[in-house]
């Protein structure tokens, strides 16, 4: 990880913007409904260029799907949004991805702060095996130094309800997070990500390891969450992209080929490559 320039002292002192009780999503700057404003963003792993001058505006409180064949850079793009890619060796970037007008890569910005504001859910569910269900959900808040018990309890229930998991786990919150089924674990991870009230939720193929019923539940959840969150989802599954997203971006060989309303991408794409991909002719 690149050495961050710290704005804040490390744990256990609470971070300055530890979420308060109400913790609303940051009010959008007036007149802006763009969450991410990204222009000419490129990324290299050593000498290999993984993203090539991507320019994209991701709207607030909408679901944006990123599709494309394997190796097209869609996961890399997603991980660049919350600076997770910095954990891999040999990464270089060019460009200034902005969230709410603020450069995420500005030298005074601490990547851990970026990740606090931009939550992420992974392909495989990864609850912490030594923690209970409740501890898993609350661990982000605890990291931020929240010690207020009533608030923690309230957040626990809220987050689990938002993740549509509360009714299934409310009677055994002290069981290990790994005692749940695969689909439940993935929803637990979503609850864990939203418990800190991030501004954006990144989903990296969240359903690829789930059965159809669990997938349906997570998709329903994405629909619910979009009222409060800006969501970016990477998916291999084009039906899924068509079902859950408002906007769809098609990546190919590190380039953004086409970006439009989901309906347009699937019904009437402008680019022949997009057309070939969504109709299943390659990829």
Specify whether the CB–CB gap between 266 and 278 falls below 8 A. Answer: yes
Q: Choose between 43 and 118: whose C-beta lies nearer to another protein.
A: 118
Q: Choose between 110 and 275: whose C-beta lies nearer to another protein.
A: 110
Specify whether the CB–CB gap between 242 and 233 falls below 8 A. Answer: no
Q: Which residues bind another protein (CB under 8 A)?
A: 1, 10-11, 82, 84, 87, 89, 112-117, 119-120, 122, 124-131, 139-140, 143-144, 176, 178-179, 185, 189, 192-193, 196
Q: Choose between 110 and 168: whose C-beta lies nearer to another protein.
A: 110
In angstroms, rounded to a whole number, what is the distance separating the alpha carbons of residues 152 and 20?
11
Task: Could you list the beta-strand ranges (E) of the chain.
Answer: 34-45, 48-59, 63-67, 91-94, 98-99, 102-103, 118-121, 200-204, 230-234, 247-252, 255-261
Nearest distance, CB of residue 97 and another protein, angstroms: 17
CA 73, 84, 62, 212 dihedral sign is positive
Q: Which of 58, 200, 64, 186 is nearest to 120 (CA)?
A: 200
Q: Choose between 10 and 150: whose C-beta lies nearer to another protein.
A: 10
Task: Could you list the beta-strand ranges (E) of 11-137.
Answer: 34-45, 48-59, 63-67, 91-94, 98-99, 102-103, 118-121
Q: Which residues contact 31 (CB under 8 A, 6 or more apart)?
A: none
Nearest distance, CB of residue 254 and another protein, angstroms: 22
Nearest distance, CB of residue 214 and another protein, angstroms: 15
CA angle 213-193-151, nearest 5°?
A: 115
Nearest distance, CB of residue 198 and another protein, angstroms: 9
Q: Choose between 87 and 94: whose C-beta lies nearer to another protein.
A: 87
Nearest distance, CB of residue 226 and another protein, angstroms: 20
Please count the other Cβ atoms lying within 10 Å of the Cβ belonging to residue 87. Answer: 11
Q: Choose between 33 and 211: whose C-beta lies nearer to another protein.
A: 211
Nearest distance, CB of residue 253 and another protein, angstroms: 25
Nearest distance, CB of residue 120 and another protein, angstroms: 4
Q: Choose between 209 and 260: whose C-beta lies nearer to another protein.
A: 209
């Amino acid at each position: 990880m690149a050495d961050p320039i710290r704005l804040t002292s490390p744990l256990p002192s609470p971070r300055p913007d530890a979420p308060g009780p109400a913790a609303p999503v940051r009010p959008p700057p007036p007149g802006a409904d763009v969450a991410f404003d990204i222009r000419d963003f490129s990324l290299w792993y050593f000498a290999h260029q993984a993203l090539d001058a991507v320019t994209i505006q991701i709207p607030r409180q909408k679901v944006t799907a990123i599709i494309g064949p394997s190796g097209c850079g869609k996961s890399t793009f997603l991980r660049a949004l919350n600076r997770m890619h910095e954990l891999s060796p040999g990464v270089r970037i060019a460009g200034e991805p902005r969230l709410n007008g603020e450069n995420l890569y500005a030298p005074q910005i601490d990547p851990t702060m970026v990740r606090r504001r931009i939550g992420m859910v992974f392909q495989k569910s990864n609850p912490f095996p030594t923690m209970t269900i409740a501890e898993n959900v609350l661990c982000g808040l605890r990291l931020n130094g929240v010690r207020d018990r009533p608030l923690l309890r309230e957040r626990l229930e809220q987050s689990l309800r938002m993740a549509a998991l509360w009714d299934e786990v409310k009677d055994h919150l002290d069981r290990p997070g790994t005692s749940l089924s695969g689909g439940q674990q993935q929803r637990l991870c979503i609850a864990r990500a939203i418990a800190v009230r991030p501004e954006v939720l990144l989903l990296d193929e969240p359903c690829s390891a789930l059965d159809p019923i669990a997938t349906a539940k997570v998709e329903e959840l994405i629909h619910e969450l979009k009222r409060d969150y800006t969501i970016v989802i990477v998916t291999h599954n084009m039906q899924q992209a068509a079902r859950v997203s408002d906007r769809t971006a098609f990546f190919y060989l590190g380039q953004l080929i086409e970006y439009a309303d989901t309906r347009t991408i699937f019904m009437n794409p402008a680019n022949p490559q997009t057309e070939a991909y969504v109709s299943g002719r390659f990829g």
